[in-house]
Structure 1
């Protein structure tokens, strides 16, 4: 099974990968392939790809970690993903 991870920098991507590995271990899933959902995008550029990442989550599991910088997560989703996220959660 392929699981995609994403984040705004190397640290948040590492956190996402560790979360996936931990959950897989708890569930006894040992046949996972991890793939970066936004390999060349960092910071705001990664957030600008959020709508595409959410669309990807309709086809495969995705875990993304972003630092909200004290902003409301709902406001971030509305700003970068518009209403595309509401039916995905």
Structure 2
């Protein structure tokens, strides 16, 4: 579960960088050195988020869910009275 939180936090951080990229400061002066450096970092983080963090988050959640489903099958090992084999017990007719 800790890995899910770290992947989600990194995905959230990448989204915040992308939101910061559309600020009016960078839009007004998009040719400055700091805006170009920030733009390069945003592109790198977008690629990392798209090809590494997102799929790992999805696969991790799917593995966790599959593990929960596999471990929830313990009730099927219990014997039910309704499905036990019926054994005929003869009774005497004198009673």
Greater Rg by CA: 2
Same fold flag (TM > 0.5): no
The TM tier, using the shorter chain, reads under 0.3
